[in-house]
Amino acid sequence: MSAEAAVAPQRVDYRTDPSQYRHWKLTFEGAVATLGIDIAEDGGIRGGYKLKLNSYDLGVDIELHDALQRIRFEHPEVRTVVLTSLKDRVFCSGANIFMLGLSTHAWKVNFCKFTNETRNGMEDSSHHSGLKFIAAVNGSCAGGGYELALACDEIMLVDDRSSSVALPEVPLLGVLPGTGGLTRLTDKRKVRHDRADIFCTVVEGVRGERAKAWRLVDDVVKPNQFNLAVQARALELAAASDRPAGAKGIALTPIERVEHANGWNYACVDVTIDRAKRTATFTAKAPATAPVSDIESIVAAGASWWPLQFARELDDAILSMRTNELDIGTWILKTEGDARTVLAADAALLAHRDHWFVRETIGMLRRTLARIDVSSRSLFALIEPGSCFAGTFAELAFAADRSYMAALPANEEEEPSITLSEANFGLYQMVTHQSRLARRFYEDAESIAAVRAKIGEAVKAVEAERLGLVTASPDDIDWPDEIRLALEERAAMSPDALTGLEANLRFNGPETMETRIFGRLSAWQNWIFNRPNAVGEKGALKVYGKGSKAQFDVARV
């Protein structure tokens, strides 16, 4: 079997647990957790390459994502996470270059998007949940390895005259540091742009006191003092966190999924694929009865508490669709059930938002909804009879590129409604750091006040369109044709152009580090991934490790 065939697409399952880890060692000591990087060379998620020098692929990052979830929910006593290497003289050499060279463009793009989301999630937990991260760089740290360190709150580098930090992608591979590296250098670490230019164009990187002087790391420590210094700093950061020292964690039980030929079913989410029309219908299902609302019962419910179960299942569905169903270009977002039970869940989330478990559940919902926002699929919400676009579920409609709501003036009992809750006004911030309603109304105070006044009311189609909550409200006569035409028109357009269009229009608010990562760095990286200077027969990414020199088309474009 050729190397190219070895990395041909096959279905990826994002579900895992610590008993299946091959690349990370997770240990706990009081308020400090250690994530040890010990990547198995023969443990690639695809064949055709070896994960040497603690280089990673999608499988490694799936484990990292799961490990972070375990820390968040199963170990509330942890306040600081230390990321360090268990291999000698190497921290992490980044994404495996041979894997990238063998992968399709779509695989590279999805891989980089997921790794970006995982690192953004670390910063999200630091900001919202008091979970702090230290990168204890105890060896060479290059490319995506340094980008992983950049996602931490602090970077400590061993001063052993050989360990360095580097972003060598441009001179070595003809691509960019695609997991936030360039953006975090400037936006987060405030590295002066001329120094950043030098740093990103030298293969060997920077080490020792120069790395600290250039703001590339926070501290450099001699080898004989390094472990003690890391532990001391981890405890200092832990002392400032409000994560509960004595709380009992919540076991993240396996996500149960029933698969069939055209989709899969969970307890709270269904996905149905129409391959002929290239659409997938996501149906979010409200709980049959109001979820428990007192904090003792919420904690006792654990992973089966409906808001968390829904978030985990939706997250898995999004990831599975993005990676495994590339031809399905339009996602139709639907809901079903009783709005009262969703609103009751929202009330519990808001009432107990300062409790660690509820706070982490809100964080999981926030990150999952943000994953929808950055997905390169057309999003259409259909608000039909039997729908339940209330509170948290209404966020699905507000995330959509278009939302259609059926108007049934002759049958008011069957006419669907939208019901807002306080959760729609900032609980689930986008990567623009806005609520979706604030994004929708361009922060216009009058428009936001008008819809806020409707909190708790069942808003019908005509009024919803008047308030700007939906795109259109066809009546029952026009509904079938209008929806059919909208979906057929979408399917006839260029997927590439639609991806660019949607990404530009969805993020019309303030520029943030996250929007710059997704909207600028990732966009340029994805373009470069398609260029001959990177992936042509003599491109830098293709010839790496083969003993020949890259040949560049010197024309600037």
CATH code for the domain of 373: 3.90.226.10
Shared-domain flag, residues 385 and 271 = yes
Q: Is residue 73 part of a domain?
A: yes
Shared-domain flag, residues 368 and 228 = no
DSSP string spanning 388-439? -EEGGGHHHHHHSSEEEE-B-TT-TTT---EE--GGGGTTS--TTSS-HHHH
Q: Which of 63, 207, 235, 218 is nearest to 150 (CA)?
A: 218
Q: Of 178, 208, 239, at which residue does a domain stop?
A: 239
pLDDT computed for residue 6 by the predictor: 41
- Residue 301, both tokens: 């419910």
- Residue 42, both tokens: 């023969």
Q: How far is CA 235 from CA 80, 133, 230, in A?
A: 7, 11, 9
Q: Is residue 551 part of a domain?
A: no
State residue 130 phi and psi, 5-degree precision: 75, 15
Shared-domain flag, residues 262 and 138 = no
Q: Is residue 468 part of a domain?
A: yes
A 10 A CB-CB count for 281 gives 17
Shared-domain flag, residues 204 and 345 = no
Shared-domain flag, residues 198 and 267 = no
**Containing domain of residue 104, as a range?**
19-239
Shared-domain flag, residues 146 and 66 = yes
pLDDT computed for residue 203 by the predictor: 95
CA distance 441 to 125: 28
Q: Of 181, 212, 239, at which residue does a domain stop?
A: 239
Shared-domain flag, residues 360 and 437 = yes
pLDDT computed for residue 3 by the predictor: 41
If the chain, 557 residues long, is cut into consecutive pieces of 10 residues, what is the mean pLDDT of each piece?
46 97 98 98 96 98 99 99 98 95 92 96 98 98 98 98 96 93 96 98 96 98 98 98 96 97 97 98 98 97 98 99 97 98 98 98 99 98 98 99 95 94 98 97 98 98 98 97 98 96 93 92 88 92 89 92
Q: Is residue 512 part of a domain?
A: no
Q: Of 177, 205, 239, at which residue does a domain stop?
A: 239
Place of tokens 């919902």: 365
Shared-domain flag, residues 217 and 109 = yes
Check residue 472 and report its DSSP letter: B
Q: Judge whether 398 and 521 are in contact, CB under 8 Å.
A: no
Classify residue 215 by burial, with Cβ atoms within 10 Å: 0-12, 13-18, 19+. middle
Shared-domain flag, residues 88 and 143 = yes
pLDDT computed for residue 520 by the predictor: 87
pLDDT computed for residue 349 by the predictor: 99
Number of separate domains in the chain = 2
Shared-domain flag, residues 216 and 363 = no
Classify residue 548 by burial, with Cβ atoms within 10 Å: 0-12, 13-18, 19+. exposed
Q: Is residue 317 part of a domain?
A: yes
- Residue 372, both tokens: 């929808």
Q: Is residue 352 part of a domain?
A: yes
Shared-domain flag, residues 399 and 344 = yes
DSSP string spanning 265-333? E-SSEEEEEETTTTEEEEEEE--SSPPP-SHHHHHHHGGGSHHHHHHHHHHHHHHHHHHH-TT--EEEE
pLDDT computed for residue 4 by the predictor: 41
Rounded to the nearest 10°, the torsion over CA 388, 394, 396, 402 is: 100
Check residue 137 and report its DSSP letter: E
pLDDT computed for residue 10 by the predictor: 81
Shared-domain flag, residues 71 and 113 = yes
What is the Cα Rg of the chain in Å?
24
pLDDT computed for residue 9 by the predictor: 57
Query: H or E segment at 3?
Result: helix 3-6
Q: Is residue 522 part of a domain?
A: no
Q: Which of 245, 242, 198, 255 is nearest to 69 (CA)?
A: 255
Per the document, the length of the chain is: 557
Q: Is residue 487 part of a domain?
A: yes
pLDDT computed for residue 521 by the predictor: 85
CA distance 194 to 520: 19
